[in-house]
Amino acid sequence: MPRPRSEREVLEHERNVELPAQLAGYRKELEATPQENKERRERLEWQIRRAEKRMAEIRGRLARAESDG
């Protein structure tokens, strides 16, 4: 049975694996979306900003955890 992962391990995995993959997918989709499709492009741009904001939040949490511990 796998051991439970710590919060730090979960955050590091999200920062190093999940979010970069999401960002790459959103950016690739955005590049493939025609300029005329404004709604789809705006949604993808919003998703990119949201993922970048989450990445910054995780970096901050991990930095605080390092300085605290």
List pLDDT tens digits, range 16-33: 999 999 999 999 999 999
Tokens describing residue 23: 């960002």
Position 1 in a domain: no
Domain residues for the domain of 15 are 7-68
Domain count, the chain: 1
Position 2 in a domain: no
pTM of the model: 0.87
d(CA 35, CA 41): 7
pLDDT of residue 5: 87
* E runs forming strands in 1-69: none
pLDDT classification of 63: cutoffs 50, 70, 90 = very high
d(CA 40, CA 63): 35
What average pLDDT does the segment 49-58 reach?
98
Position 11 in a domain: yes
Contact, 48 vs 26, CB < 8 A? yes
